[in-house]
């Protein structure tokens, strides 16, 4: 079975600074990885996904994540954060019927 670990529960960062949110996975079979974002008072939204092919995937709002098989990681990065990026971010490894989410990482962008 697949599982993910997000080591950082909270990440404070100043506006316009770069950020990296860490996610490590463990799996012995095919890997499907997703990042979701939850803005205050909203449901989770898909940010980006890795299914196969290029190991670098990008979202429309400047985030990117790189699938690294040797390090079993799928870290989320953005070179310059904005106040509006303040949210909680969840890494997820898909699943069949029971799709679970970890504790998430709260990104706090400081003006």
Using CB under 8 A, which of 3, 10, 26, 45 touches another protein? 45
Indicate whether 96 belongs to the interface with another protein (CB under 8 A): yes
Indicate whether 104 belongs to the interface with another protein (CB under 8 A): yes
Using CB under 8 A, which of 46, 56, 83, 110 touches another protein? 46
* Among the listed residues 93, 86, 25, 94, the one whose alpha carbon sits nearest the alpha carbon of residue 61: 86
Contact criterion met (CB below 8 Å) for 67 and 33: yes
The whole-angstrom separation of Cα 38 and Cα 61 is 14
- How is residue 106 written in tokens? 């709260």
The helix/strand/coil state of 110 is: strand
Cβ-based nearer residue to another protein, 2 or 15: 2
Q: Which residues bind another protein (CB under 8 A)?
A: 30, 32, 34, 36, 38, 41-46, 49, 51, 90, 94-104
């Amino acid at each position: 079975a697949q599982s993910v670990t997000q080591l950082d529960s909270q990440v404070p960062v100043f506006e316009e600074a770069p950020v990296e949110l860490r996610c490590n996975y463990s799996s012995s079979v095919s890997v499907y990885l997703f990042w979701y974002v939850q803005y205050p008072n909203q449901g989770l939204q898909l940010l980006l996904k890795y299914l196969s092919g290029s190991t670098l995937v990008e979202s429309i709002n400047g985030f990117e994540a790189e699938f690294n098989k040797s390090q079993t990681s799928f870290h989320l990065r953005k070179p310059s954060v904005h106040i509006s990026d303040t949210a909680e971010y969840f890494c997820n490894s898909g699943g069949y019927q029971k799709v679970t989410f970890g504790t998430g990482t709260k990104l706090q962008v400081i003006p």
